[in-house]
Amino acid sequence: MLNNRPVQFTQKSSLLLLTLVGIFFAATLVYTVKLGETLRYPDEGEYLNLARNLAVTGHYTLNGSTPTAFRPPVYPLFLAAGIKLGASITALRIANLSTLLACMGLIYLLLRKSSSTQAGIAVLLVMSYPVLIYTASTFYPQIPSTALFLGSLALLFSSEDPKLRCYFFAGAGMSLTMLMVPSFGFALIFTAGFTALCRLHKNKLARTFLLLCGASLVLAPWTARNALVFGRFIPFSTNSGINLLLGNSENTTPNSGTTTDISHYERSAQSLPEVDANDYYTKQAIIYIKAHPLITLKRYAGKVINYFNFQNRMIIQTEQSQFRMFLMLFSYGLLLGLAILRLAMTYRHPLTLLEKYITWLYLLSVPVSAIFFTRIRFRLPMDVLLTILSASAVVIIINYVNSHTRITKKRGSHLFCRNSS
């Protein structure tokens, strides 16, 4: 059985990695500055409107007067802090991009104690996945939320026996990610279950309780605000209904996502208050699912498969190109291929606790995501975690090659000595 831990990074290797990260950031910085004030997607405008209104009026509203809960609050708060400090659109974009650097640093922190080589390779894999750069330079919450989530995982997995308070703060961090991207709600539930059932520590129930307490404490103010403003229980946002309908209506296809035509539903809901519109969309989606169970099941299977797609139909056609398609095919194919290879090596090289967590979270996120619809952008936080599994596969391959090289050299030297004698 081969050793799964190669020689740790030397000082020279660490310096090289740091240099590559510096070059990477400089190149992405140039790309981000070149984008300037341009907004590529309607969602970006919504997030910026929320942030500006927060910074100027102190109210969470899209139009400047009517309260909203259509988007979760933490990402607009992040942008509002920059606007309050006088940041331009370009400066805000750079701040967003910087969260990708934070992701790389946190991955390194997660892995360096067990294998600095794996940590370095995982960072290189993040750098070699161009869609992360594209998303980080766009006003989307996926990359900032991933940084928050990795910070929570660092509290839970950076040491073999985390202190009890780490679970409380990890729960609070995960709750913040949920208030950026609500789909992280499943990650919190999974983490709680993993802590209760799989962690090899005493006081598992106490750890799980503290995790959920930390999450509840952070969720409470937003939920209370929504109860006071709308008179409803809204823990995350009021866009779940439209997302459910986009993924479950007569014009839905496995890869249609936000391009699904639901215009006649929107016309019916345009006069309704925001919360009632959300309820209407949810009700219409459920009516469709009940009326067409076999079609829904078939489409659901298609959405599950589409989770692993390397391209999506886009609302903005100019953001699609053959070059981007092939780049995504190669980069995601490499990442997914290495992760599958790592799982195939499990018999000889058992998964670490962190690798088990990532594997099951990634796999179980697929059917959960397909309830609504599956998109590359929504998958990216899980893809960042996948770099850890992929890096582990590369480490094992390096060990295997080094081991066989040493054996070959040793045999060669024995043969040379025999011939000499």
Per-residue pLDDT of 144-164, as tens digits, reads 999 999 999 999 998 888 899
Question: Has residue 312 been placed in a domain?
Answer: yes
Report CA torsion sign: 241, 244, 246, 251: negative
| pLDDT at position 217 over 90 | yes
Residue 282 is assigned to a structural domain of this protein: no
Residue 66 lies in a domain: yes
- The pLDDT value recorded for residue 245 is 97
Q: Which of the two residues, 10 and 326, has the higher pLDDT score?
A: 326
258 found inside a domain: no
Q: Comparing 200-209, 291-300, 362-371, which segment has the lowest mean pLDDT?
A: 200-209
Stretch 55-59: mean pLDDT, rounded?
A: 93
In a domain, 357, yes or no: yes
What was the pLDDT predicted at 7? 47
Calculate mean pLDDT across residues 208-232: 96
pLDDT in tens, 4-14: 444 455 667 77
When pLDDT is cut at 50, 70 and 90, the band that residue 3 belongs to is very low
Structural domains in the chain (count): 1
In a domain, 271, yes or no: no
- The per-residue pLDDT for 37 is 86
Alpha-carbon distance values, 204 to 65, 201, 320, 352, 358 (Å): 47, 6, 48, 19, 19
* Residues 282-295, mean pLDDT to the nearest whole number: 96
Query: In whole angstroms, what is the distance from residue 385 CA to residue 354 CA?
Result: 10
Q: What is the pLDDT of residues 251-280, one digit of tens each?
A: 999 999 889 999 999 999 999 999 999 999
403 has pLDDT over 80: no
What per-residue confidence (pLDDT) applies to 117? Answer: 86
Per-residue pLDDT, averaged over 219-238, amounts to: 95
How much is the mean pLDDT over the chain? 89
Domain, as residue range, for 211: 11-237+307-420
Residue 109 located in a structural domain: yes
Structural domain includes residue 316: yes
Confidence of residue 402 (pLDDT cuts 50, 70, 90): confident
